[in-house]
A and B are shown apart, each in its own frame.
Chain A
């Protein structure tokens, strides 16, 4: 097999480093599987993860390969505009901190839909929420899987696109099926530590080249020469905005998707159920913000550093945009450092897809199977966890097949954009209304979820990413689909009446704001 053949040549240090990471995570999975008994252990790691651990895990769940390799590449090729991406990814966590994390932890159990089902009719609301959760998770997962396949082909010679996709798929299924949330959490924690360590090393090595003089570093960016598509040589100031993004509305729409979508991403939200109480959930958001912020600030050094030290033309000839960070590592630290950064990139993908798999399977088992199909009762003890394990297997298999069928050429950026847009337009409006608007009804929630979901998908299908003469001018639909999601939820509500929802609002409000009756951590 090519995989083993590549490993045995010995020159492929990245494969060895990566195999060490896989071995460590499998040991963790084995220990988690022995410890994990019962639904709360499987879905929420027994709610015993500490604040800083969960902060690292949130960061590990969130910082995808698109952030690490994609943003570094964008800055390296076109300068400042790539850095604008970095900003939105951090500021988004203020929405999570101020509006979502604590009430969610206080009022819910395993999924986002728990908060909605609290005072609304559980079955229709959970069915719609499970649909949007599965949509977001699947789009995001396929984007990550395709990304993994493309990357590994460049990073580790001898491994094909299909082998990489299948390998990633099998590993994530093993973590989730056997180790549940506990194993997933630790895979994410290790990955976050590796990613931060890699970024710090890379940044220090870049700054060393400029004698740790920031003034010198920034003035080196004012004249970067590159060759355009028609063979002309141009020199540009890489600190100038607007070198890639010509339409400001695109930036505003994308910012909206990031700022409001992060707080609606199911795989991020379920992380707050793994801590003992709302206070710890709050602390974990702050830890996550420190880690995520530090990482995105460092994109300055390794993104601009690649532009200044390697130059866009060199990156273009050595694997293209996504390879800017690994190529920079090779230039600064030789083959071993290149191998380490490649392994970090792969670990990054694995941790994110594991988080997506467990969020999809939790939502299917808890929301759809137990609460919609069986009216909230398990058929026999352990059925919920059993179904979640089977779902994880199915989700893994499906995403392997879809990623292979789509092939390496598919545009993954739009899949990620779509996931954020659906989260912002479908999930966030109904979560906010159900927590803060007394009059909110089941009809409002279902209409809001479906309108947000449908409008995001339709607007993306008629956007410039899909049509030569687009009917809708923006690449990300959030600017239009988020207001539509809110409008749908509002219209559905004022056109219906629900006494039970009004009466239960006081209870939800007290629970969400005091933690009275919240799910407790398990004792051992």
Chain B
């Protein structure tokens, strides 16, 4: 018998109730409702837990945290030193550095450079993560999903 004559084994063979003919079509197409699925059918085709426990994935996560956590702490401290300095050490911040330009203005301006430099470092490092991510997904045969 060719395979097109018989419904494949993973289809639901229960006759449809209330069909218009006496001879109910054998089985219904499509997915089973979730409560009728066996454990195998219910399984996610992607093995999330295996990827998550893979040493390469753990190493990738560690590398990300090793950059992001100190960088975040740094920019928060660097930023809040501005209102703290201006608020509580006005004498220091009003000191002239270059011509009429004082430390307060220069420090505020340096925040822009700080933000751009941190963003630049992040982009360079993150492009390395992209490659590691691709290798990891290819290792599990899901690189094209």
Contacts and interface: CB of A to CB of B under 8 A. Distances in A.
Contacts of B90: 241-242
Interface stretch (A56-64, A284-292, A317-325): A284-292
Interface string B45-59: 010110111000100
A255 interface: yes
Given A97-B119, A514-B51, A514-B136, A84 B112 contact: no
A286 B123 contact: yes
Given A251-B86, A514-B136, A516-B145, A293 B51 contact: no
- 6 closest pairs, A vs B, by CB? A248-B87, A251-B83, A506-B52, A507-B48, A219-B100, A241-B86
Contacts, number: 140
Interface of B: 44, 46, 48-49, 51-53, 57, 60-61, 64, 68, 71-72, 75-76, 79-80, 82-84, 86-88, 90, 93-94, 98-102, 104-105, 108-109, 111-112, 114-116, 118-120, 122-123, 126-127, 130, 133, 136-137, 142, 145
25 contacts: A80-B104, A83-B105, A84-B83, A87-B112, A90-B112, A94-B72, A94-B115, A95-B72, A99-B72, A239-B100, A241-B93, A247-B87, A248-B87, A251-B83, A251-B87, A252-B80, A282-B126, A286-B120, A286-B123, A290-B116, A506-B48, A506-B53, A513-B64, A517-B46, A517-B145
Contacts of B118: 94
B83 A252 contact: yes
Contacts of A84: 82-83, 86, 108
Interface string A228-247: 00000000000111100001
Contact of A94 (B44, B119, B126): B119
A295 B100 CA distance: 23
B145 A242 contact: no
A239 B68 contact: no
Interface of A: 80, 83-84, 86-88, 90-91, 93-95, 97-99, 102, 215, 218-219, 221-222, 239-242, 247-249, 251-252, 255, 259, 279, 282-283, 285-286, 289-290, 293, 296-297, 300, 506-507, 509-510, 513-517
